[in-house]
Chain A
Amino acid sequence: MRRAHTPAHLACLALLCSSIAICLAQTPPPSQPDPTVQLLQSQPQVDTASPVVAAATFDPPVVRPGGTSTYRVTFNAMMDSVQWPEDLVAPKQLELQPGGRGQLLLPAGASLQPRTTFNTRVKATNTGAFTIPRYLVYVYGKPVTVPAADLQVVEDPAVAVPATPEVRLSLGATNVFVGQPVSARVVLEGNVNGVLQALAQIKLVGEGFVTDTTFARQTIQPMDAASGSLPAFVYETSLTPVTAGVLPITAQGFTAGNQFVGPITITGRATILGGTPLYELRDTLPVMLKVRTIPQDGRLPGYHGGIGQFRADSPALSTNSVQVGEPVTFSVNVMGSGNLARLIPPAPPKVEGWKVYAGKPDPGPAQLIEARGFITFRFTLVPTSEKTKATPAIPFSYFDPASERYVALDLPSLPIAVKPSAVPINLDDFADAAGPAVGARAEPKLSALAPGRGKTMASLQPWQQHPWFPLVQLAPVVLFAGLWGWDRRRRFLAANPEIVLRRRARRALQREWTAVRRAASVGDTPRFAAGVVSAFRVACAPHYPAEPRALVSTDVLPLLPESESAMHTAVRAVFAATNAERFAASQTPPADLLALRHELERARTLLEEKLR
């Protein structure tokens, strides 16, 4: 059954065809290759596909007891791909010490073949034949067999083995300060026949220093040796220690036959080895460089890291007559020995009448500065007042490692005529020219020791986090509540004064009765009677109210129960005895009053209850 093409189908087909046509029409032209990629592709490729082969030799293969030989293992592979073992398996009679390691790319047809060498310094003390057996080393992740190597240690070799010329490293100074440049000299002497070869890829190995290759130079020159004057290949460079301590430094390079890299100066007669270079890695014994930090004491203004011995030439001005606001250039040449090429101009001073802009470093390359022997500091000075008669002196100093002290080398001021400006100028435009403005934050530094304890606290925890803090906050509430209660009570007592009278009477009664008991205990009848009367008067006074001393027994008795006749009798007797004593001076109270003590005690209790 045939399917009919609907208009929608036809429209889709047309759209698809037109899209394909547009895509074909818009196919971009072949893109231009990237120049960087082109450049990389034009370089010979490094051969990493060839089978890796290892070679191991002793150089020299025969030594006398106590002599040193170099165990050299070479791979035709990149150094980073070789998993070199930290410890080699060797006879106990051999002392092994790790030496240099390096990589060289040698042209091999259309490609470059890597050659990686690992040196181990071997010292033999006993005579005999020693073998470092074969072992496996992983290169590019695959095991590679390093063949065995033999070393003969004999007292008197049957065949004279020519001594391999050693590479030596010497430093210009071995006791220096951080930042002080030190010259380094790598020497490879020719053999006894006067034949020598060059070294390639020379480098200083170690930590804590920076090698300045801009000053490197190589020469061939005659040198005095035990067998007479021999030609030697000399490589000179400079290093700058950056950390304090004792730094072991070694040098290494590949023997390159007559293949010199860069310019070389040849002095005297020399026979240079011809043929294909062997490219053997040679390294030196370590040289110890003792590095100290520069002392902070005695540091002078204007010190910016200069180490050496310097002197300044006479400074010069671009002109000797300027207007206010017109810049003038102050330039001075500094010469001497040390880190001359790395000298930094001192910080511009901040002086009244001048705006001094920071000096710019000498634009010349370091080699040029070293070659010409001086560096130029240039400062731009702008006078801000016509009253100034001379340029400001600029503090400058350096550290002299020989005398181990700072030396001032201030750049002197120069006379100059400053005229008023012909046009009005805004001196604020020169702000911030001489360092940070007034009020700017200075560089932070550690403070000195605090001489005393300063402000103290009982605890680092704030008060509001202590458990007692809420309780303390309750204290004012308690105080306010107490004040409120006290005021209320005060007003209540003011409205009811009898309460106060009764309370006072009760206290007086208790006080008087204490005296009564004391008198009774010692048998003092007069005091006993007087005390009882006084107590009863005090206890009865609030009920009338009346003055206590005005009361008599007839005032007291109504307050006692009528049924207590014995009590009434006792009270009357006491009052009578007291009155008798008071108004008839010769009569003393009868002693049997004390017998009434019990009844009187009951009466006191009843009266006290009435006061409550």
Chain B
Amino acid sequence: MKACSHISQRDPFVVALQAAMLLLVAQIGFSAGGDFHAGLNAYRSGDCPRAAEVWSKHSQLQPASGTFINLGLAEWHLGRRGPAVLAWERALWVDPFNADARENLRFARKAAQLEAPTLTWFEAASLWLPINAWALVAGISLWAAVAFVTLPRILRWRRANWQQALAAAGFAIFLLCLPSLYGINTRSRLGIVLEKETELRLTPTRSAQTMMLLPAGQPARWERARGEYLLIRTGYGQGWIERSQLGLVCPK
């Protein structure tokens, strides 16, 4: 009763705004869950194109590891290897401990004779935690260390050994997180070639010389962009491809 009276005393506009926000959040959550199960039903009834379409839209609305795994399965059964590999890579991006995504990628790369992305040591280290956990740990450790150094001075507390130790530990954790944060940044430039026999061009022009044909599902690193073309680096070499032919694991 008290709570009701408290609400009733509030500004009606604020109350209406809060209610609308709650409804919107609930609607998004309900819609996402409904779409996911609609995709499951379509897939189980053999309608893979419909399932892929539903999960693709759903993954844009709310990226989720399960959605990406299922999207990859639907794409794989449709014979679209590039989008399938991209979906599973995104599932690993969301959840680096997802065994299904890892196994599916192994299967796809063995079946289609594809390369796996070559990761540097700091990129491999960035797989030890979810991508946003590194930023969280780094932020907390840094500012905790700063706090333990500065707050005793600010608040004129007596300096204690435990404060120094915690500050040192915080700085150490922060420094250990830096390579992984850099690794996440470089991994975000990883992409997957979507179409089979994608032409790797010497120059970013339509009439450029074709250096080689890349298979669908081939990993590549985005170096820079020029117009409608991207300069990518693959295990086969460096060259230009059209923007629409490369799907980034972390879309910009």
Which A residues lie at the B interface, using CB under 8 A? Answer: 444-465, 469, 472-473, 476, 480, 483-484, 487
Known A447-B100, A464-B181: A454·B66 in contact at CB below 8 Å: yes
Q: Are B32 and A453 interface neighbours, CB within 8 A? A: yes
Q: Are B64 and A456 interface neighbours, CB within 8 A? A: yes
Q: Are B250 and A462 interface neighbours, CB within 8 A? A: yes
Q: Are A454 and B69 interface neighbours, CB within 8 A? A: yes
Which residues of chain B are within 8 angstroms of A472 by Cβ–Cβ distance? 139
Q: Is B62 an interface residue (CB 8 A)?
A: yes
Nearest-neighbour CB distance to chain B for A455, whole angstroms, equals: 4
Nearest-neighbour CB distance to chain A for B165, whole angstroms, equals: 20
Q: Are A447 and B36 interface neighbours, CB within 8 A? A: no
Residue of B nearest to A475 (CB): B143
Which residues of chain A are within 8 angstroms of B66 by Cβ–Cβ distance? 450-454
C-beta contact mask, B5-44 vs A, less than 8 Å → 1, else 0?
A: 0000000000000000000000000001100100010011
List residues 172-209 of chain B with CB under 8 A from any CB of chain A.
181, 184-185, 188
Q: Are A476 and B154 interface neighbours, CB within 8 A? A: no
Can you list 19 A-B contacts with CB-CB less than 8 angstroms, sorted by A residue number? A444-B103, A444-B106, A445-B107, A446-B73, A446-B103, A447-B69, A447-B104, A450-B69, A453-B62, A457-B63, A459-B63, A460-B63, A460-B93, A460-B250, A462-B132, A462-B185, A464-B135, A476-B143, A487-B154
- Residue from the list B44, B64, B188 in contact with A455, Cβ < 8 A: B64
Nearest-neighbour CB distance to chain B for A465, whole angstroms, equals: 7
Q: Are B95 and A454 interface neighbours, CB within 8 A? A: yes
Residue of B nearest to A453 (CB): B64
Q: Is B90 an interface residue (CB 8 A)?
A: yes
Q: Are A473 and B64 interface neighbours, CB within 8 A? A: no
Q: Is B150 an interface residue (CB 8 A)?
A: yes
Which residues of chain A are within 8 angstroms of B151 by Cβ–Cβ distance? 480, 483
Which residues of chain A are within 8 angstroms of B146 by Cβ–Cβ distance? 476, 480
Q: Which of A446, A456, A459, A465 has the most CB of B within 10 A?
A: A446
Residue of A nearest to B59 (CB): A460
Q: Is B211 an interface residue (CB 8 A)?
A: no
List residues 43-97 of chain B with CB under 8 A from any CB of chain A.
43-44, 62-67, 69-70, 73, 76, 90-91, 93-95
Which residues of chain B are within 8 angstroms of A465 by Cβ–Cβ distance? 185, 188
The 4 tightest CB contacts between A and B, nearest first, are A454-B66, A450-B66, A444-B106, A454-B65
Interchain CA distance A146-B140 in the complex, whole Å: 88
Which residues of chain A are within 8 angstroms of B3 by Cβ–Cβ distance? none
Interchain CA distance A460-B92 in the complex, whole Å: 11
Interchain CA distance A460-B150 in the complex, whole Å: 35
Nearest-neighbour CB distance to chain B for A444, whole angstroms, equals: 4
Q: Are A462 and B69 interface neighbours, CB within 8 A? A: no
Interchain CA distance A456-B185 in the complex, whole Å: 20
Q: Are A469 and B135 interface neighbours, CB within 8 A? A: yes
Q: Are A444 and B110 interface neighbours, CB within 8 A? A: yes
Nearest-neighbour CB distance to chain A for B196, whole angstroms, equals: 19
Interchain CA distance A484-B152 in the complex, whole Å: 11
Residue of A nearest to B32 (CB): A453
Which residues of chain A are within 8 angstroms of B163 by Cβ–Cβ distance? none
- Residue from the list A451, A453, A458, A460 in contact with B90, Cβ < 8 A: A460
Which residues of chain A are within 8 angstroms of B132 by Cβ–Cβ distance? 457, 462-463
- Residue from the list A450, A458, A480 in contact with B65, Cβ < 8 A: A450
Which residues of chain A are within 8 angstroms of B184 by Cβ–Cβ distance? 462, 464
